[in-house]
Amino acid sequence: QVQLEESGGGLVQAGGSLRLSCAASGRTWSRYTTGWFRRAPGKEREFVAAISWSGNSPDYADSVKGRFTISRDNAKNTVFLQMNSLKPKDTAVYYCAAARQVRAVLSSQYDDWGQGTQVTVSS
């Protein structure tokens, strides 16, 4: 089992940037794919981005391509989500999660979840 804790959320104006962090614990975390999901008010949870243990070929939702960048530092057991050019529609609770599969873009593929961090983008 992997324990995950998100941080870095907050309130930002449209066009601004935030960097989310996901700190992980667990002996084999570095072998997991780590993903970011979000849930906006009144909507279902949706995939945002994911990165495999090697850091190669990350996946992104079409809605964030070119604006968000996922990266990981296995030595620090941390995954980051750099969010630029934020829009009001990016407002949501953001969750990080860990999966044993190399390519994972569905929430059902993930085994462990953090508690989430709120991101609010004002217009």
The residue type at 90: D
Q: How many CB atoms lie within 10 A of CB 39?
A: 14
Task: Reply yes or no on whether the pLDDT at 31 is more than 80.
Answer: no
Cα of 37 vs its chain's centroid, Å: 6
Predicted confidence (pLDDT) per residue in 67-93, tens digit:
999 999 988 999 999 999 999 999 999
Task: Reply yes or no on whether the pLDDT at 29 is more than 80.
Answer: no
- Backbone φ and ψ for 48, nearest 5 degrees, come out as -115, -55
Predicted confidence (pLDDT) per residue in 35-58, tens digit:
999 999 999 999 999 999 888 889
Task: Reply yes or no on whether the pLDDT at 26 is more than 90.
Answer: no
- Backbone φ and ψ for 49, nearest 5 degrees, come out as -160, 160
What is the Cβ-side half-sphere exposure of residue 14, based on CA atoms within 13 angstroms? 5
What is the Cβ-side half-sphere exposure of residue 116, based on CA atoms within 13 angstroms? 12
Residues near 1 by beta carbon (within 8 Å), at least 6 away in sequence? 26, 111, 112
Task: Reply yes or no on whether the pLDDT at 27 is more than 80.
Answer: no
Predicted confidence (pLDDT) per residue in 88-116, tens digit:
999 999 999 999 888 899 999 999 999 99
Task: Reply yes or no on whether the pLDDT at 28 is more than 90.
Answer: no
